[in-house]
Structure 1
Amino acid sequence: MRYRTDYLPRLQPWSLSAFAAAVAAVVFAATLQEIVASFGITPYFAGFIPAILVVSLLGGAPAGTFAVLLTIPVVWWAFMPPHFEFNPLTSADYDSFATFVLVSSLMICFSHLYREARVLMRK
């Protein structure tokens, strides 16, 4: 019988494996985003939000922040029209980026608090 809640595997923050998980999550989310975009639906950040949450829970705040910093140029380059070019952003694009950064930072903070609470519960 399990007395602890060790259901999530944990990576050490600032480790190479945590940052590799962040890169893998962003690549996976970009692939899913491209599949969704092929159907004509273009939610720029919809696939990246869950990926950042998972990376933040598994690898900590540094890995989640790294995933956010990787996501912004990927979305700007690959998913915002014109595709595969860096063009000046419109005010709506800036609003999308600001909303994404706000939501991502809140998720990273809450996942950090969750990881800290798990450490306290183990003691």
Structure 2
Amino acid sequence: MGNGADYILKLKPWSLSAFLTAFLAVVFAATMQEVLASFGATLYFAAFFPAILMASLLGGVPAGIFAAVLAIPIVWWAFMPPIFEFNPLTPEDYDSFAIFVLCSSLLICFSHLYREALAIRMKFPGESDLTGRLPN
């Protein structure tokens, strides 16, 4: 198995470094969202999906959940009008949050499945497929 799998599985879930990775990913996503907003983009969560994916792949499910939960108040405060204020949410805002939570949950679940598949693949590196047959 290549170095990519070793790198993805290097951080252990619930470790401080996994949560730090998730925090840094969210900070980077907020910076990128600010750049997108300066160009007039109104997709509030656009930059946060890759951050949640990377946090989940590198740090596991707890880091992905941490990144998603951290993104919600950041978007509400910094990117939804009026900017830098917590105001009551409109029905459209609730819809945006619900879609974000659903998509983030899917990203976190798929990342978890991918990490598990990599761990299995590293245990049995000689097998070519799920049937258990060795390559010819």
TM tier, smaller: over 0.9
Q: Secondary structure at the residue paired with 1:7?
A: helix
**Equivalence map 1:40-79=2 (5 Å):** 40-79=40-79
Q: Secondary structure at the residue paired with 1:110?
A: helix
**Equivalence map 1:1-123=2 (5 Å):** 4-8=1-5, 9=7, 10-123=10-123
Moved over 3 A (4+): none
2: CA distance between counterparts of 1:6 and 1:52? 22
Identical residues among aligned pairs (%): 68
Amino acid at match of 1:30: A
* Corresponding residue for residue 127 of structure 2: none
Q: TM-score, normalised by structure 2?
A: 0.86
* Corresponding residue for residue 129 of structure 2: none
2: CA distance between counterparts of 1:96 and 1:40? 18
Structure showing greater radius of gyration is: 2
Number of positions where the alignment pairs a residue of Structure 1 with one of Structure 2 = 120
Q: Which runs of 5+ in 2 are unaligned?
A: 124-136
Q: TM-score, normalised by structure 1?
A: 0.95
Cα deviation for residue 23 of structure 1 reads: 0.6
Alpha-carbon displacement from aligned partner over 1:53-96 (angstroms, at most 9, x marks no partner): 01100000000000001000000000000000000000000000
**RMSD over aligned Cα, in angstroms?**
0.9
2: CA distance between counterparts of 1:79 and 1:62? 25
Cα deviation for residue 122 of structure 1 reads: 1.4
2: CA distance between counterparts of 1:6 and 1:106? 26
